[in-house]
């Protein structure tokens, strides 16, 4: 059921974003504090409003309206003792006004029933008095709807950061290296798609939950990886995406504590984030796991990752792809030095991952693990199968791994060819140079060996 209020709201050509409206009279300190309140309250506020409006787009706009009111009033009047309740009451009043206004305009329309219903829900007064569990359920509904499969991945990411992270359009645009109007349009369209598809504000039914949860986890991990792939010197909003994804993941883990894969994803992100400091060298070049200075790994995040993994494993009937990836990451995290890595265990985990989520990239990783555990020849066999399949034909890491394994087997001439092939495939200049250096080293080693 879509109310006509929702239609007026989503017809807006552009995203309204209260924090971007110019306001010369704002006191800077109050501004920072209001941003902070928004950061803390916005998701719960939107989620609570959506329960009544049954329309996320409208709920978000009502929340923005309340924020505009706060920006106008708080700098002079001071921040209220309970800013969350203030925002909620303000948004609720706006909702009632709007519903009345639309009802007067559309008296003859069938939408009347819907408006009355919303009016009743609002005046039932539950919004301020919601219990903790209800707020949690509303937040969970909000996460599911922001990551709904009717939306494209890009739209899901943007909407999730907007609704759950409280990020501005500008911040999201900077984070994804996309022009601001593109993100604004993406969010407007996403809201319209949800309204047009009559997507209910509900927690998915039991039979749907696995697929819907997978969609949510995919979006969170996508956001994380976008941040993780940021390189030195880029806008700080990009690496901040890792923090945003972790925060949303941690929130989800408390909302859905019985879902093993949620804990698996959180564990995976915590452990990967623990290496952020160590994974680039002084010139910004990537440092491989084996070469990283493990003293730079973030022990708090590793500890949190291991706890999340244990939590997930405790409630898993069988380990899914995120738990398995987290277990692999945890094996590396537990090793005091690269030499201490338990490659036999990691190989077994990759075997499991190849069963539940088979892909050529997983297979390539498995080849590396097998080579570490059982020798380069065993790994090489797996890469040969991959070559035969041809799925990774344009992926530079396949010849790069093969070059590595062939070098270790002393087959320098073949290794040289693989490194040159890898160099031709990569688009990263720094990596290309590295690979050509390795090819040259092979040529050198090859002549040494024959002379």
Partner 1 sequence: MRVMVIVKANERSESGVLPDPEMLAEMGRFNEELLKAGVLLAAEGLHGSSKGVRVRFGGGRSTVIDGPFTETKELVGGFWLWQVKSIEEAVEWIRRSPFQKREAEVEIRRVFETEDFGLSFTELCAQEARQRGQQAAKN
| Interface region with partner 1, contact rule CB under 8 A, candidates 33-41, 396-404, 417-425, 436-444 | 33-41
- Map residue 174 onto helix, strand or coil: helix
- Map residue 429 onto helix, strand or coil: helix
| Cβ contact 244:269 at 8 Å | no
In the bound state with partner 1, the residue whose beta carbon lies nearer, of 145 and 246, is 246
In the bound state with partner 1, the residue whose beta carbon lies nearer, of 102 and 172, is 172
Q: Which residues contact 366 (CB under 8 A, 6 or more apart)?
A: 347, 350, 351, 353, 354, 382
What is the C-alpha separation between 426 and 381, in angstroms, rounded? 23
What is the C-alpha separation between 15 and 12, in angstroms, rounded? 7
| Interface region with partner 1, contact rule CB under 8 A, candidates 30-38, 118-126, 343-351, 377-385 | 30-38
Number of residues that bind partner 1 (CB under 8 A): 26
In the bound state with partner 1, the residue whose beta carbon lies nearer, of 200 and 284, is 284
In the bound state with partner 1, the residue whose beta carbon lies nearer, of 6 and 434, is 434
How far apart are CB 422 and partner 1 at their closest, in Å?
23
| Cβ contact 343:334 at 8 Å | no
What is the C-alpha separation between 148 and 150, in angstroms, rounded? 6
Q: Could you say which residues in the range 253-282 bind partner 1, by CB under 8 A?
A: 254-255, 276-277, 281-282
Is position 219 an interface residue for partner 1 (rule: CB under 8 A)?
no
Burial class of residue 422, CB neighbours in 10 A (0-12, 13-18, 19+): buried
Query: Looking at the DSSP assignment, which residues form a beta bridge with residue 286?
Result: 280
Burial class of residue 97, CB neighbours in 10 A (0-12, 13-18, 19+): exposed
Q: Which of 26, 33, 222, 414 binds partner 1 (CB under 8 A)?
A: 33
What is the C-alpha separation between 142 and 52, in angstroms, rounded? 13
In the bound state with partner 1, the residue whose beta carbon lies nearer, of 40 and 357, is 40
| Cβ contact 148:199 at 8 Å | yes
Phi-psi region of 3 (alpha: psi -120 to 50; beta: other; left: phi over 0): beta
Q: Could you say which residues in the range 226-255 bind partner 1, by CB under 8 A?
A: 236, 243, 246-251, 254-255
How far apart are CB 427 and partner 1 at their closest, in Å?
25
In the bound state with partner 1, the residue whose beta carbon lies nearer, of 240 and 348, is 240
What is the C-alpha separation between 346 and 329, in angstroms, rounded? 9
In the bound state with partner 1, the residue whose beta carbon lies nearer, of 55 and 270, is 270
In the bound state with partner 1, the residue whose beta carbon lies nearer, of 5 and 242, is 242
How far apart are CB 47 and partner 1 at their closest, in Å?
13
Q: Could you say which residues in the range 287-346 bind partner 1, by CB under 8 A?
A: 293, 300, 304
Query: Looking at the DSSP assignment, which residues form a beta bridge with residue 280?
Result: 286
Q: Which residues contact 351 (CB under 8 A, 6 or more apart)?
A: 366
How far apart are CB 218 and partner 1 at their closest, in Å?
19
Q: Which residues contact 16 (CB under 8 A, 6 or more apart)?
A: 61, 64
In the bound state with partner 1, the residue whose beta carbon lies nearer, of 110 and 300, is 300
C-beta neighbour count of 138 within 10 angstroms: 24
How far apart are CB 363 and partner 1 at their closest, in Å?
31
What is the C-alpha separation between 349 and 319, in angstroms, rounded? 10
Q: Which of 8, 16, 35, 209 binds partner 1 (CB under 8 A)?
A: 35
Q: Could you say which residues in the range 43-102 bind partner 1, by CB under 8 A?
A: 83
Nearest by Cα to 321 from 210, 241, 242: 210
Q: Could you say which residues in the range 133-162 bind partner 1, by CB under 8 A?
A: 136
How far apart are CB 67 and partner 1 at their closest, in Å?
14
In the bound state with partner 1, the residue whose beta carbon lies nearer, of 22 and 282, is 282
Residues at the interface with partner 1 (CB under 8 A): 32-33, 35-37, 39-40, 83, 136, 236, 243, 246-251, 254-255, 276-277, 281-282, 293, 300, 304
């Amino acid at each position: 059921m879509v109310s006509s209020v929702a239609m007026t709201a989503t017809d807006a050509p552009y995203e309204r974003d209260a924090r971007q409206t110019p306001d010369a009279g704002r006191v800077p300190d109050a501004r920072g504090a209001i941003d902070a309140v928004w950061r803390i309250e916005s998701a719960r506020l939107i989620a609570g409003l959506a329960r009544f409006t049954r329309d996320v787009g409208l709920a978000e706009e009502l929340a923005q309206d309340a924020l505009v009111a706060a920006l106008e009033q708080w700098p002079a009047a001071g921040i209220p003792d309970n800013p969350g309740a203030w925002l909620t009451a303000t948004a609720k009043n706006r909702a009632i006004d709007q519903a009345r206004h639309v009802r007067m305009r559309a008296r003859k329309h069938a939408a009347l029933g819907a408006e009355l219903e919303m009016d009743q829900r609002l005046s039932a007064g539950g919004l301020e008095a919601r219990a903790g569990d209800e707020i949690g359920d509303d937040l969970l509904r909000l996460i599911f709807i922001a990551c709904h499969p009717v939306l494209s991945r890009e739209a899901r990411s943007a909407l999730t950061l907007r609704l759950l992270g409280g990020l501005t359009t500008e911040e999201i645009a900077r984070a994804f290296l996309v022009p601001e109007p593109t993100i604004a349009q993406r969010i407007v369209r996403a809201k319209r798609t949800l309204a047009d598809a009559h997507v209910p504000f509900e927690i998915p039914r039991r039979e749907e939950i696995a697929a819907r949860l997978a969609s949510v986890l995919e979006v969170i991990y996508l956001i994380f990886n976008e941040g993780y792939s940021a390189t030195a010197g880029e806008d700080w909003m990009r690496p901040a995406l890792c923090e945003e994804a972790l925060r949303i993941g941690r929130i989800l883990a408390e909302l859905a504590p019985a879902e093993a894969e949620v804990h698996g994803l959180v564990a995976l992100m915590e452990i990967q984030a623990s290496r952020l400091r160590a994974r680039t060298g002084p010139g910004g070049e990537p440092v491989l796991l084996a070469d990283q200075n493990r003293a730079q790994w973030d022990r708090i995040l590793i500890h949190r990752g291991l706890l999340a993994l244990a939590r997930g494993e405790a409630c898993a009937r069988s380990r899914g792809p995120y738990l398995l990836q987290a277990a692999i990451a945890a094996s590396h995290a537990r090793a005091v030095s690269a030499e201490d890595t338990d490659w036999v265990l990691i190989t077994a985990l990759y075997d499991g991952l190849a069963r539940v989520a088979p892909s050529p990239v997983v297979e390539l990783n498995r080849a590396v693990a097998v080579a570490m555990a059982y020798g380069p020849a065993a790994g090489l066999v797996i890469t040969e199968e991959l070559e035969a399949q041809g799925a990774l034909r344009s992926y530079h890491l396949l010849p790069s791994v093969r070059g590595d394994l062939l070098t270790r087997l002393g087959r320098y001439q073949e290794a040289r060819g693989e490194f040159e092939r890898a160099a031709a495939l990569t688009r990263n200049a720094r990596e290309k140079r590295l690979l050509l250096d390795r090819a040259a080293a092979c040529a050198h080693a090859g002549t040494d060996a024959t002379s």
